[in-house]
Structure 1
């Protein structure tokens, strides 16, 4: 009876006081496996109420328990795992046994430390448990407990464990996905509209239907911070983002509920578009910013409930974020600014709306303040007259007004950032042509077509320059490339006819 009480007091200490989770409990409730992965020294603990007889049985049981620890290591995808095995017995084994528990049992990069607690060494064993786990275990002996008292002790521990599990499960049950499926449907509808009205990879079609296009935003079309969320460039882009939304969106919407999810998704999409507007001049579209916002929302869960986060999805989420950001930094053409902006936006939006049933007024105020300051700063930077995009837009207007010298002054300092803003080379080369600097125009256009081979207008202008320099062969190659990229421009085909005639006449 005394050891039964001690057994459940130990379990009470780890489950109630130290917030260990019950992984397994035997039918007779004499063996429990406990887990707390945030506890570095003792992430797995087994407590076994069994009156020991022979040390050979003890050795066999340690080996059997070790195999379970190996299975846990594989399930948790850990390289190494340390576990503790506590026997609560009325008496020690009748033969020599201490040597069997002096050293941990090692098996496939796991260590199992075993401790035998019996009536003759209670305090010594408790001190050793405190030492090896790093947490002081203080248990008052309660011989006065009768069967009813023991029953209440046992039930209080199991009830506390079940309530914690219920609370954790409820975190993932705050709503059925609604807006996730709505956005997926919207993506499909918009993709169909793009494909049937010029193609989802056609820049003019994308601009027409609301892609992020910096010059239009600078002219006042603010809605382009939101409309790119439902547009996708090509079928592969659509499929990848739709799958990501299906898995991430449903998880986030279940955790935060429908309205909170909608706020997080839209603000993350806005933040991604805003960051892209400030840091990249390229035409862009896609739900990637909003998707990274879902990652940000899950990271906020990790800040609020770190133990639950890392026990369930934390490691996988961090790995996925790392992989996606790494891909963005290594593969050209990916709008990493939009991704990072969406990630931060989703995190801040989650702090503002917070998790259901969480008041946390101070966190919400701080989240709102951070989001407001960041949005204000980015808008100021984006619309700033010194912003490269704004300068390029201003230069474009000056060129249309034939104010070439002023346009050149605005653009020349940006030429060193041509890899980031390739259109600078295009406008400078156009000014060169207008001013008769054909050789300079040729050099800039050759560099531009190398940096951005899909710039068909640049190939066309380069063909004109080659003609001016009496190099019909290169002119033919350039115009053919322009037509290959866009065969619908009548001026291109007319120029090719002219060039072919020159080549045949030579």
Structure 2
């Protein structure tokens, strides 16, 4: 056996993973089918690589259709308006009957025009055309490749191992981004808000307005009288046991996730700034008394959105869809249910996004972007404080 096609298959995999910075999404049990993604490459954000001996064009046509169906699922998961999938086939020979019409243009399913599949065949006698297509898709293409007529099985195995080791290393790198730190402040904040709740209950009740004001709830008249600390103290107060339970549960799941990604001290900054900006937004947009960690918790959502902003591919491969859906549900809930301080939620969400942009992601730096986010945070804070101390939107209205 020459193992030539097997070598080409793994050389293509090496090219995509190691030279074009793709990530391995899926691999079949027999290691003859790979799905890879790199959303930074617009012409081919998803590549499917298949080692299969082609026989009839009908099989090829059905496989392209199945690839389009799988690509549509990926498009929805990545929340992309359009998705181009490149399906590469490595075979010794092309189909025995007429197949050229399948390669003339990208395939688009009739039921959706949002996912296209571009098939490329690497077969004997047609490799030059395939590599021309490869060079069109990628700036640093493969025009310089030259393959021998035969390869030893050991050469294929060595190249395969190199590719799989590289894929594992990239996966480990991604895991390190998601699990940078061990949560500490999340548990501390949970303990503090439970302790403060018990203190409220002992001293008149957590639903008692006078008690809430006495312990630091956001109360605009006293803020206007100089009690600026009421921008921070509401983060640790809760009105009723249900309010406490919901925010404690949300903090447990969201806080640990954000603290793992950003580390302890970045999380501390994100949480407190988000809570502060949520209180300031509430001060500006509503005269009602308010309290709760909701602004800071929405800040955790904002921090996750920023993580997706700088690590889009990893974000949508892992937590992205769930995070966005939960944010939308919570905002809809806030706008439709009376008595919820939605301005505080939105202020916290924006605050978390900005605070994460200032601190950035561990092991990554972008000083110009961080400076921009710091300036935006400063200007927004000054604007909201000035507006609040000069009447607030609720009074202007």
Give the TM-score category using the shorter length.
0.7 to 0.9
Name the SS for the 1:33 alignment partner: strand
For 1:361 and 1:105, how far apart are their aligned partners in 2?
42
Tell whether the 8 Å contact from 1:9 to 1:139 is kept in structure 2 after alignment.
no
Q: What's the RMSD between the two structures over aligned residues?
A: 3.4
1:41-83 CA distances to partner (integer Å, 9 max, x unpaired)? 545432222344x31xx64476467557646755775599764
Gap change, CA 1:164 and 1:229, over 3 Å in 2 = same
CA deviation after TM superposition for structure 1 residue 257, in Å: 1.2
CA deviation after TM superposition for structure 1 residue 291, in Å: 0.9
CA deviation after TM superposition for structure 1 residue 136, in Å: 7.8
CA deviation after TM superposition for structure 1 residue 289, in Å: 0.9
Q: 131, 140, 143: which is aligned to 2:144?
A: 140
Q: 2:321 aligns to what? A: 315
* Greater mean alpha carbon deviation, residues 181-190 or residues 18-27: 18-27
For 1:305 and 1:33, how far apart are their aligned partners in 2?
19
Q: 246, 250, 256: which is aligned to 1:244?
A: 250
Task: Give 1 or 2: higher helix fraction.
Answer: 1
For 1:198 and 1:76, how far apart are their aligned partners in 2?
54
TM-score (norm 1): 0.66
For 2:253 and 2:67, how far apart are their aligned partners in 1?
32
For 2:87 and 2:74, how far apart are their aligned partners in 1?
19
For 2:255 and 2:347, how far apart are their aligned partners in 1?
18
Unaligned 5+ segments in structure 1 are 393-413, 418-506
For 2:95 and 2:177, how far apart are their aligned partners in 1?
46
Gap change, CA 1:303 and 1:2, over 3 Å in 2 = same
For 2:73 and 2:385, how far apart are their aligned partners in 1?
48
Gap change, CA 1:369 and 1:93, over 3 Å in 2 = closer
Q: 2:94 aligns to what? A: 92
1:432-459 CA distances to partner (integer Å, 9 max, x unpaired)? xxxxxxxxxxxxxxxxxxxxxxxxxxxx
2:354 is the alignment partner of 1:348:
yes
Tell whether the 8 Å contact from 1:179 to 1:258 is kept in structure 2 after alignment.
yes
Q: More relative contact order in 1 or in 2 (CA 8 Å, sep 6+)?
A: 2
2:121 is the alignment partner of 1:119:
no
CA deviation after TM superposition for structure 1 residue 270, in Å: 1.1
Q: 1:495 aligns to what? A: none
For 2:385 and 2:133, how far apart are their aligned partners in 1?
60
Tell whether the 8 Å contact from 1:173 to 1:255 is kept in structure 2 after alignment.
yes
1:198-242 CA distances to partner (integer Å, 9 max, x unpaired)? 232221111011101122222232221111111112233223222
Tell whether the 8 Å contact from 1:265 to 1:346 is kept in structure 2 after alignment.
yes
CA deviation after TM superposition for structure 1 residue 35, in Å: 3.1
2:339 is the alignment partner of 1:337:
no
For 1:322 and 1:213, how far apart are their aligned partners in 2?
28
Q: 2:260 aligns to what? A: 254
Q: 1:31 aligns to what? A: 33
Q: 356, 361, 365: which is aligned to 2:367?
A: 361
CA deviation after TM superposition for structure 1 residue 6, in Å: 2.7
Q: 1:227 aligns to what? A: 233
Tell whether the 8 Å contact from 2:88 to 2:119 is kept in structure 1 after alignment.
yes
For 1:195 and 1:72, how far apart are their aligned partners in 2?
55
Which structure has the larger Rg over C-alpha atoms? Answer: 1
Gap change, CA 1:82 and 1:370, over 3 Å in 2 = closer
For 1:99 and 1:380, how far apart are their aligned partners in 2?
66
Name the SS for the 1:171 alignment partner: helix
Tell whether the 8 Å contact from 1:62 to 1:105 is kept in structure 2 after alignment.
no
CA deviation after TM superposition for structure 1 residue 328, in Å: 3.1
For 1:235 and 1:330, how far apart are their aligned partners in 2?
22
Q: 1:279 aligns to what? A: 285
Gap change, CA 1:86 and 1:187, over 3 Å in 2 = same
For 2:70 and 2:6, how far apart are their aligned partners in 1?
28
Q: 292, 296, 304: which is aligned to 1:298?
A: 304
Name the SS for the 1:282 alignment partner: coil
Tell whether the 8 Å contact from 2:274 to 2:349 is kept in structure 1 after alignment.
yes
Q: 1:184 aligns to what? A: 190
1:376-427 CA distances to partner (integer Å, 9 max, x unpaired)? 33333333xx4259xx9xxxxxxxxxxxxxxxxxxxxx6x84xxxxxxxxxx
For 1:142 and 1:359, how far apart are their aligned partners in 2?
39
For 2:129 and 2:348, how far apart are their aligned partners in 1?
55
CA deviation after TM superposition for structure 1 residue 255, in Å: 0.3
CA deviation after TM superposition for structure 1 residue 301, in Å: 0.8
* Greater mean alpha carbon deviation, residues 92-101 or residues 5-14: 92-101
